[in-house]
Amino acid sequence: MNGKVIDLKEVGDGVFSEGMLGEGAAVEPSDGKVYAPFDGEVTMVYDTKHALGLMSNGGVEFLIHIGLDTVNLEGKSFNIKVKNGQKIKTGDLLATADLKGIKNAGYRTVTPVIVTNSDDYTQIEKVCDSTAEAGIKLLDIK
């Protein structure tokens, strides 16, 4: 996503801020487009369209959670462009979100990007500290 990068601790949601789902970063999006961060596969499209599970060809498991508490929107404001099991390439458009619609419904648009299998890695470091752009590396995973 394009937008301002923030630390997970600053998200203000216990599940993400405390790293319960894994390590990562978050983006306060400037547009509603979600792009594939790597070559891999879509492992989960949530019925409520607010989140996507991905797995890279190298085994990194990602959760992209568009907004906070947006599960309550029951799919409104989200347009998913992929399906479970679909192969993806870096830069593929995965989803779009109506950021104005999300905000008007009373929800925050901050989007956590989590490595859900963080325990499989020795280091997950945020390498982009200011502005995220599609195609620019956000996390270094070792």
- Residues noted as catalytic: 65
Q: Would you state the structure tokens that stand for residue 81, as one six-digit string?
A: 């462009």
CB 79 within 8 A of CB 34: no
**C-alpha closest to that of 50 among 72, 35, 27, 29:** 72
Instruction: Give every CB contact of residue 38 below 8 A, 6+ residues apart in sequence.
Output: 54, 56, 57, 58, 60, 62, 90
CA 28 centroid distance within chain = 11
d(CA 9, CA 124): 14
